[in-house]
């Protein structure tokens, strides 16, 4: 499994056009260590794997999947959201929540307006029926 992960880490790094020095510096490891990991000459622990995954903006799942990219079965929107950093993802969820609440409130207001219109219509019908009943009663009294 380490063999596959090292190669995938290298692919993710080169796809982002990052040098060994860039990634190693951010991960606080030596360039030699990162090179050995990528060439499958050194194992990698979970903490370092997750750190490299974050630096490379590559979801851990993509680095571990059997086909190497994991993109066949994962929705592109899910991949895009997963690739966002934590702050961007939190901002996205806050915006989506606010939008949902606004739509829910707008929907509630529309239902209240609709209900209000229905009540007004029923009152108008009642008034009409009341007037009709009075007319019939007057006609009956005249007879």
Task: Give Cα 53 distance to the centre of its chain.
Answer: 20
Alpha helices in 16-85 (DSSP H): 20-27, 31-38, 46-55, 60-64, 76-83
Residue 3 in tokens: 């063999």
Average pLDDT over residues 2-6: 69
pLDDT in tens, 13-70: 998 999 999 999 999 999 999 999 998 888 888 889 999 999 999 988 888 875 544 4
Give the pTM. 0.46
pLDDT in tens, 88-114: 888 888 888 888 888 888 888 888 888
As to burial, measured by CB atoms within 10 angstroms (0-12 exposed, 13-18 middle, 19+ buried), residue 119 is exposed
For residues 32 and 73, the model is more confident at 32
């Amino acid at each position: 499994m380490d063999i596959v992960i090292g190669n995938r880490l290298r692919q993710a790094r080169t796809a982002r056009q990052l040098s060994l020095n860039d990634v190693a510096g951010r991960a606080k490891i030596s360039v030699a260590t990162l090179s050995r990991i990528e060439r499958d000459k050194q194992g990698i622990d979970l903490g370092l794997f997750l750190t490299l995954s974050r630096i490379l903006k590559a979801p851990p799942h993509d680095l571990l999947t059997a086909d190497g990219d994991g993109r066949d079965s994962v929705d592109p929107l899910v991949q895009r959201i997963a690739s966002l950093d934590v702050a961007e993802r939190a901002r996205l969820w806050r915006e989506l929540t606010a939008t949902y609440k606004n739509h829910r409130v707008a929907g509630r207001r529309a239902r209240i307006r609709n209900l209000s219109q229905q009540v007004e219509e029923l009152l108008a019908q009642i008034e009409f029926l009341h007037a009709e009943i009075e007319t019939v009663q007057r006609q009956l009294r005249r007879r």
